[in-house]
Structure 1
Amino acid sequence: MTTSISKDSILHSLNTQINKLAIEYEQRIKGLLEENASLKTQLLESRNQIELLSNSLLEMEEKAQKVVVAGGNIVNTSNPSEEISGLLCQLDYHRNHQSFVNSYVEIEKLNNYESSLLDETRIGLIKHYFLDMFLYNPSNPNEMNHTYNAVLSFIKRYIQSHELTNFLRKNENLLNEKILDSGVPQLVTNLARIYFVFNLNEILMRYLDKVIDRWSAFDSTIDKKDFIRLIWLSFYLSKDKKLLHKLKTASLYLKEPDPDIRLYNIIAEVFSKGKINKSDNDNIQKAKEKVTFLDSIEIDKLYKSLNKRIRKLGVKSVVKGSDKKSINNSNNSDNLRKIWYLTKLNSNERILPDTRKMLQPEWIYLAVFKDVYLKKEQGYVLIQALSDQKQGKAYITPGLIEELRKKVGEKWVDIRAYQGEDKIEKTLTKTDLNQNVFVWPSTELKGEKIEEIISFNEESELKKLGYQITGSTKEKRWKILEIAVRQLGLKKVAYTIAQNVKLRKGQKNGEKKFSYAIGEWEYDLAKLKLAYYKNNFTWPTTRLK
């Protein structure tokens, strides 16, 4: 009896242990099966990624083969626009392969075309390549210098481009450091000239401070032409004395007989004395006629500044007593001009597009009307406008219009579109003003909550069509965008992409963290504009102001 119980006990114990082991093995087998399934999924995803990358490389190589002949020459066509597109394809190829060796060749060829063939959309595409070129570090310094020189030469040709103005503002620190680190005086001078003709005076001032601080690196290598240009740009911002204190070898240029140097020496002496006489003025006028080292735009801007400073010297020497008092009272509100209408400029740059004249702030009284139909003014509002030496037309920028609207509320003011200096200007209606300034959203985050901004979430119609950056190529995205434009409309597609850029930029360190995605979205926006935009709506900006 005892033996039977003992056997049953042993069998029960063995059975329990076997069942326990069986359960453990079943769990291990289940885990291995799940791990195997996961690895298969990862393998499949990896294969898909490899296929996407392979297709992308093939597409880019095919594109490059269409536009590149042996030796890197562009296929000649009878259509300049097609040739430019070919050059852009080559730059796109360089960008995707992170290789900018000899990329300056394409930029130099673009410089050979008429500036009218490159509109803001194409320039907007090209500026992305410029940024990559400045971030790229070739092993050969000559290649780097060729690239920088080609880019700066291109930029200087398009001084009215808002795209390039924004590029210069946004990348000030990068451009300054790269150019100064190059140690090439010609590049250093050319960047200063660009800031000067683009009217970026604050940036130019900061840049010249850095140039002067590093002057010992350029003093013995700078040539006479570049020295003259830098000394004049320094004079424009009253930094020439600071530069003169740093000169060693380069100081010998000041003894040369060139008209440009002679003019500077005469001016320096006049301002040192603090007064000007007829003989000085005659010498200045003679020297001005022979200046050769500056181009016409630079000369116009410099001479305008110079003439103002000379006039101030003349006023100081002749104004006395009550005359001086009347001059001091010229800014009194009783002497302000009364203006019936303003001319609206197309940008916030304080410069006339046709003549390149610099405009100065002027306080004026602007007529205010009850509405557009009543031409009898109800009164005047004191505002700051722009003018050429407080004469002729008064101008206003989009930014100033915003301030004006806050002051006048629902009342009407006469604002006319800028048509050129010699053309009749059409009065803008309230609808025109609203469309151009107030209705269309910018990418500023003014009190908006991030979650309120349209993004590529599950509700995005563009997302549902398959549009995304991750795991896709430019070509695949473009095919989806072509479909999206037909189904959703150009405006909705463009604004959805622009709002998503705004969402990313609005996050902490967003521009840095999402730089690749932002660059791709802005590329797609620019391409959409080039292909479809017919001026039927205001194109959205992706810049955080």
Structure 2
Amino acid sequence: MMTKELFLKNFSTEIDKLYKEIDKYHADLVECKLILENKQIELDKINKELKIQKEHNKFLTELINDKGDQINYNITEIYRFFRNGSVIQLEQALRLLAHNPNLNKINEVTISSVLELINEILETGKGFVTDECYFLSLKIINSFYNSNVKSQVEEFFRYKHSSFEGNIYERFSLKLSLELFKSYILFGKKNELVDIYSDSITDFEYFNLDEIDREIFAKLLWYGVFVENEIDFIERFEFISEYLNEHKSEFQLYQLTRNILNNKESFLSNKIRVQNLIKEITVLDPIEKEIIFSFLIDKLSSQTQINQFEINTNLICKTPQYHSVYFLENINLNDGYREKEILLAIYHKPDRNARKEFFKTNVFIKNGDSKAYVNRGQVQKIKKLRMGGWAIIEEYPLSKLINRKQVNIMNSNLKNKNVSASSFKWPTTDVKLDPVVEQNSSNEFLNTTSELAKLGYKITGLNREKRWYILQNAVPKLGLKRVANIIAYNVRLRKKQKNGLIKNSYSIGEWEFDLDRLKKKYYKNDFVWPRLN
């Protein structure tokens, strides 16, 4: 039987347990109350932000107000977004402006303010400005192509494009680059488009290749056709060229085009098919289609006329074909040489077994000698054939001369002269190349730039210390000579661009800083240090 004392003790213990549980429940209740209060604060904050956003959206909508066939732009407020670094508001304002259906009704007074704003956004390159802001700014410029202010926009782009091209290019965004390509094609800057397309192929490892889908590939392909450089694009990116075999209009037309240009099919018998395929293509907008495919039709028509002319000429004159010619510096007519027109093979790759086309050129021949000879002036004429490809000129002083916009010269018999790492001449970043560097490194390092990029080296997105860490690992793997020449080659490439020193000033400065750092760390005074002007 439980005693009174034991009962009271057990009762007291149970009471203590109840008090502890009550304290625990009270603590939980206080905690829940605090959580609810915090959630209410967050909810109030969200409601406040939504209210502000709603009012802001209403304000942005009112920025563009249709008034009697004219559009009134509150440029002052958009300027405020830009100068305050309000990137979200800036993007929204630019997006509304870019997609407004009445944009082509802008008057000549307002267009000056719009262009001034866009120029400041594109040219200053402020850190907060996003790729989307650049893209929308270019889209606005391009939208004026069919407006009554086209001439003003054309003049603006003609004189201003070089000041912001570098900012756009070094974003390494395919979407942004394609909009810039479109600007060039609309406003008649084909030479600049040729240069930047070639640069984009060279620097493609810096772009996000995950962006490439069927549509982007098709656009890059047809812009390549327009600048006559799509072969380089396809050969460099064979892993995505599988698109070419798809039964899509844009790729079927390209395959047909190549067959016509290679004389495998006739343009006259395929003219209607070409026109129908062009109509079916949707990856390019109507203006791009008109410009690019007008060029294509002219090229195919010209090829047909050339082929017919060559057939008739060959029937009469039997023009001889040569797969290669020989270089001779001094050709003396008194030694029995005479000038003759021949058909010279231009190969699609630096390989005798590659596809080839024949083009007329003048050479020197000699009775009893089966070879054809060219002097330096004739080599220059061959190089100026702006169709790309490779011409074999035996015994030419340079083993290979590479220029993507012209015919490349290849000498299959000339042996490469290897220069040891301890005696190589340090690469110059001067655009006036010294002949030793030109001969020994231009071709080699054009093809190996990606080796350094594969190790993570790039200017965009990396500070100097991160780049230096990569370079210190690269030197033992690739060698000082290779690393230095890759960097110097990139500098020379940018300097050669129109206004390259201005639009690429940041990249050039960083590359030359890295090159100077390599000199201080690894240079042993065993070769001539390059000029850095």
Same fold (TM over 0.5): no
